[in-house]
Structure formats: structure tokens, C-alpha cells
Amino acid sequence: MALRQILNDNHPVLRQPAREVIKINSGVLRLLDDMIETMREAEGVGLAANQVGVSKRILIASPDGESIVELINPTCAENEGEEVGVEGCLSIPGQYGEVPRAERIKVKALNREGREIYLEAEGLLARILQHEIDHLDGILFTDKALRMVDPEELQNDKTGEESSDHKGEVKS
């Protein structure tokens, strides 16, 4: 495994829709392993392949910092409800914003063995998956944020469950 460089938001690859994975070969598996190491090193909760400069529809998520969800060619099959929550992004360091997302989603994707899987998610995992699928479509959270939030405001806000649990450290 190796660390990869996380690109920042002025890199054009972050604005291009990522390409579908045609074949899950050793390069794709190595990329997944490297993305996990890179996300953990950066203390993020999710990462999309184009954030490390690879235009492939691959994302990972780790809402609890331990278990890992790996999705290849993910598409959002269904979504329900709406919830506003604070997000940050490893490609946009130091910035946070309030972003509306679906509360519950169903995602269809391939796993690393190439099997089709359906995943139902809610709460933080649903938010991360929507953030990462947006990355794969060239969309950043700042495009959708209702307002940006001062990081100091996050540190002081102990009322919202999400912000008090993560103190503005939810970056993906």
C-alpha cells in the first residue's frame, strides 16, 4: 500500500465526471488499498478516486473510522427525505458548510470481487456516500452548501449531534 497525494479543488480532474470502471484488475485493487491508507492518514471519513487524481468511479467511506465501505461504479438508486448537516472535504482544507442531503439512500455498485451489491444507508454514511458520488460527477460540496460555517463555530457547537461528535472533522 502507498499513500497518494490528495488533490485540492483547483485541480481540473475534480471537475470532470470520473470514468466507469470496465475491469476490476490489480491496478483497481491497489488503488482501493492506497485510497484506504490515504483516507486514514488524512483522518477523513471518505474519499473518491478522482481526489487522488484517478478518473475512475470508485469511492470509499468509513463513517466510524474503522469499517470500510468500498464501492465501484456506484449509482444512487433511491433517496428519501432531506437533512441539512455540516460537511468538509479533504480537497478543500479548512472549509466547512451546511449541505442538504437525502436522509436515506439506496446505492447500487460493484464490490471489489466484481459482484453487484445494493447498499441501504442513512445518517452519516448516507451523507458521505452522496458527497463522494458527487465527487465522481465533478461536483464539490461548496456547490451545494446553503452557507459556509466558521470552523470555530463548529468547535463551540455542542448541540448538534453530528458536529459535537465530530467537531468539524467530517472530511471526505
d(CA 2, CA 22) in angstroms, rounded, equals: 23
- Angle (CA) 149-101-158 rounded to 5° is 45
Q: Give the list of residues 6+ apart from residue 15 with CB closer than 8 angstroms, or none.
A: 138
Q: Confirm whether 41 is a catalytic residue.
A: no
Of 64, 2, 13, 63, nearest in space to 35 by CA: 2
Q: Give the list of residues 6+ apart from residue 144 with CB closer than 8 angstroms, or none.
A: 99, 100, 134
Site string for Ni ion, 115-154 (x = CB under 5 A): ----------------------------------------
Total residues at the site for Ni ion (CB under 5 A)? 2
Residue corresponding to grid cell 485540492: 8
Taking the complex as a whole, the smallest distance from the CB of residue 51 to Ni ion amounts, in Å, to 6
Contact window for Ni ion (CB under 5 A) among 21-29, 88-96, 110-118, 142-150? 88-96
Instruction: Please identify which of the residues 20, 82, 122, 132 carries the catalytic annotation.
Output: 132
User: Looking at beta carbons only, is 24 or 42 nearer to Ni ion?
Assistant: 42
User: Looking at beta carbons only, is 130 or 163 nearer to Ni ion?
Assistant: 130
Among 89, 125, 126, 149, binds Ni ion (CB under 5 A): 89
Contact window for Ni ion (CB under 5 A) among 53-61, 81-89, 112-120, 145-153? 81-89
SS3 71: strand
d(CA 132, CA 46) in angstroms, rounded, equals: 7
User: Looking at beta carbons only, is 32 or 89 nearer to Ni ion?
Assistant: 89
Does residue number 14 form part of the binding site for Ni ion (CB under 5 A)?
no
- Residues involved in catalysis: 132
Residues that bind Ni ion (CB under 5 A): 89, 172
